[in-house]
């Protein structure tokens, strides 16, 4: 291995003594760095759930660019050559099979894209991000507002009707207040908000992403960790519980379904059907066949990466049902719910118990 050429923060992190590494914790990362005379630059984070193995092992065995690995009980460090430069990618366990993957390249940097796309694809389906539902996404802003006046600097969204993109920035002008996150989100009816960049007065500047990620730009990393990352971890843990152990029993009736509520889905529109289909078919390893496609849609989906399968059923314009198969996996279900949620503008994802008897009214009259 060639000597690593790291930025000051990564250099400090990588060269911590064994004892210092053992003592290192995520919430106090900034304090530890500052005590060593190093600034914490911006940090990009992706929160993921793991089906089985530690992401560190998955990345080491499958991802490209990995140079060396160090680990303590509380963090795993990967020195990697990404997009022409050396970086340290940290894997912070957050409990219950949830991990924060963090590194210093900005979200748009090719190095981070290698991690978020290339590495995550390589680790699929054992590792998967989890898209936040609308309430979880908005709640992060609500909690941040309790810590200081909150202003939106920038917001990106996608318009569900025609899939056009929406970006709006609010420059900081002295004496002129920018909208709060609630004000900004009010303007996004029938859009799926993907990122929101916030200034929490006197505390920090950060970005939260619907796709289970966040960026720390400046201010108190402790607050970022305890508010934002904690929320992302909790959402991921809840999602994992929802998606784990969902195997159906053979020849038994379906007892539970994953129901994704969405704003509206017009299945009479061929482009919408196409979108739905493409969304699933584009996820790495997934193979799809149409069992029925007029007018309701029933897809049989198999994850070739682990042999699991499930059915996707669209029965009305406000919900998509995912019925786990006889063998199911957290990673496969997470990847498909993520893809569908992102494309269709997931409002909520619920595990519905469908064991109860059906009222006869369902079979009578209009």
Using CB under 8 A, list all residues that contact other proteins: 248, 250-254, 257, 274, 277-278, 281-282, 285, 287-292, 294-296, 298, 300-309, 311, 313, 315-316, 321, 323, 325-327, 354, 357-360, 362-365
Measure the CA–CA gap between 40 and 35, rounded to whole angstroms.
11
CB of 268 to other proteins, least distance (A): 9
CB atoms within 10 A of CB 353: 9
Measure the CA–CA gap between 295 and 262, rounded to whole angstroms.
18
CB of 314 to other proteins, least distance (A): 9
- Residue nearer to other proteins on the CB measure, 173 or 366: 366
Work out whether the CA dihedral 138, 144, 150, 152 comes out positive or negative: negative
CB of 47 to other proteins, least distance (A): 24
- Residue nearer to other proteins on the CB measure, 16 or 124: 124
- Residue nearer to other proteins on the CB measure, 174 or 250: 250
CB of 342 to other proteins, least distance (A): 17
CB of 349 to other proteins, least distance (A): 17
CB of 137 to other proteins, least distance (A): 28
Measure the CA–CA gap between 251 and 247, rounded to whole angstroms.
12
Q: Which two tokens stand for residue 189?
A: 């009816």
- Residue nearer to other proteins on the CB measure, 174 or 365: 365
Name the phi and psi angles at 323, rounded to 5: -105, 110
Q: Which helix (H) or strand (E) holds 232?
A: helix 230-243
- Asked if 14 and 4 count as a contact pair (C-beta separation under 8 A), the reply is yes
Measure the CA–CA gap between 252 and 271, rounded to whole angstroms.
35
- Residue nearer to other proteins on the CB measure, 66 or 323: 323
Residues paired with residue 22 on neighbouring β-strands, in sequence order? none
- Residue nearer to other proteins on the CB measure, 201 or 291: 291
């Amino acid at each position: 291995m060639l000597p690593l050429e790291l930025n000051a923060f990564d250099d400090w992190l990588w060269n911590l003594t064994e004892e210092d590494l053992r003592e290192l914790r995520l919430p106090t990362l900034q304090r530890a760095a500052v005590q060593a005379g190093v600034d914490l630059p911006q940090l990009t984070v992706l929160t993921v759930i793991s089906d089985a193995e530690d992401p560190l092992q998955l990345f080491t065995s499958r991802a490209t660019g990995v140079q060396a690995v160090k680990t303590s009980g509380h963090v795993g460090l990967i020195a990697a050559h990404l997009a022409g430069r050396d970086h340290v990618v940290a894997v912070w366990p957050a409990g219950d099979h949830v991990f924060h993957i963090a590194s210093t390249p900005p979200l748009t940097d090719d190095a981070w894209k290698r991690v978020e796309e290339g590495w995550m694809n390589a680790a699929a389906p054992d590792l998967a991000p989890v898209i936040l539902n609308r309430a979880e996404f908005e709640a992060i802003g609500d909690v941040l507002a309790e810590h200081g006046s909150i202003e939106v600097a920038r917001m990106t969204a996608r318009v569900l009707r025609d899939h056009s993109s929406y970006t709006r920035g609010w420059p900081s002008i002295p004496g002129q207040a920018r909208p709060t996150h609630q004000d900004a989100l009010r303007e996004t009816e029938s859009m799926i908000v993907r990122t929101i960049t916030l200034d929490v007065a006197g505390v920090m500047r950060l970005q939260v992403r619907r796709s289970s990620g966040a960026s720390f730009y400046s201010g108190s990393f402790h607050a970022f960790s305890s508010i934002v990352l904690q929320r992302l971890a909790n959402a991921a843990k809840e999602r994992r519980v929802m998606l784990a152990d969902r195997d159906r029993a053979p020849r038994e009736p379906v007892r539970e379904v994953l129901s994704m509520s969405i704003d509206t889905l017009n299945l009479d529109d061929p482009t919408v059907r196409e979108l739905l289909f493409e969304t699933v078919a584009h996820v790495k390893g997934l193979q799809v066949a149409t069992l029925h496609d007029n007018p309701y849609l029933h897809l049989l989906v198999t994850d070739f990466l682990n042999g699991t399968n499930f059915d996707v059923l669209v029965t009305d314009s406000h919900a998509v049902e995912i019925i786990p198969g006889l063998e199911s996996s957290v990673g496969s279900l997470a990847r498909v719910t993520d893809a569908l949620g992102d494309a269709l503008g997931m409002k909520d994802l619920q595990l519905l118990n469908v064991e109860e008897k059906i009222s006869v009214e369902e079979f009578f009259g209009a």
